[in-house]
Amino acid sequence: MPSFAEARVDLDAISGNVSLLAERAAGALVMGVVKADGYGHGMLPAARAALAGGATWLGTAFISEALHLRAAGIDAPVLAWLVPPGEPLTEAIDAGIDIGVGSVWLVDEVLDAARQARRPARVQLKADTGLNRGGIGPVEWPDAVAALARAEAEGLVTVTGVFSHFACADDPGHPATSAQLEAFHRALDVVDKAGLRPEVRHIANSAAVLTRPDARFDLVRPGIAAYGLSPIPGLAVPGLRPAMTLSAILVGCKRALAGSGVSYGYRYVTERATNLALVPLGYGDGVPRAATNRGPVFVAGRRRTIAGTVCMDQFVVDIGEDTVSPGDRAILFGPGDHGEPTAQDWADALDTISYEIVTRIGQRVPRTYTGAVR
Ligand SMILES: Cc1ncc(COP(=O)(O)O)c(C=O)c1O
């Protein structure tokens, strides 16, 4: 689909990144994390590319996302780990989705749903080992484990996994990571003593896959690194290739006099007579308004900075004495091969993380795909 803007996604890059992570996982299985529309890359193509690269599991936040994978014919094991009240548990059980049980109230709900579905629910118990977000904490853990052990003996559930999630793995050397690993081992002991033998025990996100061999267990769950972005700002990971390139055709270019205020609020004023190029992307497309006077953009063969306020649909770039023709492209970020900024450069400029930059690219921007697996 020809369009003035596109987020081009290199699916071979995703497959290649996943195989690199599988190598790093040294025998542990890989779950490709494809929640939030595959971190903005498109959930279905990203899932297929991850599977082609050697992932054997997929991970989503919500059951609705996992059901979307099933509806598209993807039958790999899928874990959905964030289950608010009212989620379609029976449908999830029917679809063979692993339900992440990270709240005590959910245990009974899943058992009820399994009775209704008349087949065992696949359940993975989530331990809170110190993130203090989702997951069952150490106080309630023994009872939750015992309840699920009883339910498994009754044939109501199969406990397929036990997992947890790190708080500070993106800060190598942070003491919380080792403390969480110890807590995870304690949680696993309780599971073992209750007679449960889950297929997969897992805790490692991208950062841990790359820095903590002791966190591999049976499976690792990389998200951001599968999309080619380093989970640890400042840690270059040779071989990882950013999969998304965000670009737009310029609307035009015009001459402005010295002292011209540019865009809403005149937050940028030209120092001298100059050429201003107009890029048809804005916060309605996920370009943060915080990129005002900060976001890096590649236009007319050079890297520049957004001039003035990012609007809903557009922003301006001061290209000095350079010129552009209608149809020339501005590249906001990409792999960096041709001097264009990367999503990490955007994250650095905006004091955020690359996850947010790629994931927030809106639905108005068509995704186009290159690569063998579509
Ligand atoms: C439970 C869980 N596992 C794995 C991941 C993947 O994390 P990352 O993208 O840092 O690899 C996430 C992402 O937030 C997550 O919530």
Q: Is 165 in the pocket of ligand 1 (CB under 6 A)?
A: yes
Candidate from 31, 165, 203, 357 with most ligand 1 atoms within 8 A of CB, to mutate = 165
Between CA 35 and CA 339 the distance in angstroms is 30
pLDDT at 374: 59
Is position 208 within any domain?
yes
Q: Which residue has the tokens 């339900």?
A: 99
What values do phi and psi take at 311, rounded to 5? -95, -175
Is position 5 within any domain?
no
pLDDT at 372: 78
Provide the 10 A C-beta neighbour count for residue 335: 17
On whether both 324 and 207 belong to a single domain, the answer is: no
Is beta strand 5-10 parallel, antiparallel or unpaired with respect to 367-370? Answer: parallel
Contacts of 211 (CB under 8 A, 6+ apart): 169, 172, 232, 235
Is position 236 within any domain?
no
Number of domains in the chain: 2
On whether both 195 and 99 belong to a single domain, the answer is: yes
Is beta strand 252-256 parallel, antiparallel or unpaired with respect to 274-279? Answer: antiparallel
Q: How far is the CA of 110 from the centre of ligand 1 (A)?
A: 23
On whether both 139 and 212 belong to a single domain, the answer is: yes
Tokens read off for 180: 């969480």
Atom index in ligand 1 nearest the CA of residue 100 equals 1
Tokens read off for 105: 């109230």
User: 87 and 63 in contact (C-beta within 8 Å)?
Assistant: yes
Tokens read off for 364: 């108005």
Which residue's C-alpha comes closest to atom 14 of ligand 1? Answer: 223
Which residue's C-alpha comes closest to atom 2 of ligand 1? Answer: 165
Angle between helices 141-153 and 175-193 (to 10 degrees): 40
Tens digits of residue pLDDT in 231-269: 999 899 999 999 999 999 999 999 999 999 999 999 999
pLDDT at 327: 87
Atom index in ligand 1 nearest the CA of residue 355 equals 9
Helix, coil or strand: residue 241: coil
User: 48 and 373 in contact (C-beta within 8 Å)?
Assistant: yes
Tokens read off for 215: 């966190």
Q: Determine the distance from the C-alpha atom of residue 299 to the mean position of all C-alpha atoms in its chain, rounded to a whole number.
A: 28
Tens digits of residue pLDDT in 56-85: 999 999 999 999 999 999 999 999 999 999
User: 207 and 174 in contact (C-beta within 8 Å)?
Assistant: no
Candidate from 132, 205, 235 with most ligand 1 atoms within 8 A of CB, to mutate = 205
Q: Is 38 in the pocket of ligand 1 (CB under 6 A)?
A: no
Tokens read off for 189: 């002991």
Q: How far is the CA of 294 from the centre of ligand 1 (A)?
A: 28
On whether both 170 and 258 belong to a single domain, the answer is: no
Is position 352 within any domain?
yes
Residues in the chain, pLDDT under 70: 1-2, 373-374
Range of the domain at 265: 244-370
Is position 312 annotated in a ligand binding site?
Answer: yes
Q: Where are the beta strands (DSSP E) in 28-179?
A: 29-33, 57-60, 78-80, 98-101, 121-126, 157-163
Q: How far is the CA of 33 from the centre of ligand 1 (A)?
A: 7
Atom index in ligand 1 nearest the CA of residue 170 equals 10
Q: How far is the CA of 288 from the centre of ligand 1 (A)?
A: 22
On whether both 253 and 327 belong to a single domain, the answer is: yes
Enumerate the active-site residues.
35, 264
Between CA 271 and CA 260 the distance in angstroms is 8
Q: Which amino acid is at 316?
A: V
Is position 6 within any domain?
no
Beta bridge partners of 303: 298
CATH number for position 351:
2.40.37.10
Question: Which string of DSSP letters, residue by residue, matches 181-240?
Answer: HHHHHHHHHHHHHTT---SEEEEE-HHHHHH-GGG-TTEE--SGGGGT--SSTT---TT-
Question: Which DSSP category does 136 fall into?
Answer: B
User: 207 and 232 in contact (C-beta within 8 Å)?
Assistant: yes
pLDDT at 1: 44
On whether both 50 and 125 belong to a single domain, the answer is: yes
CATH number for position 127:
3.20.20.10
Candidate from 221, 235, 357 with most ligand 1 atoms within 8 A of CB, to mutate = 221
On whether both 267 and 196 belong to a single domain, the answer is: no
On whether both 58 and 200 belong to a single domain, the answer is: yes
Tally: H helices and E strands in the chain: 11, 19
Atom index in ligand 1 nearest the CA of residue 39 equals 9
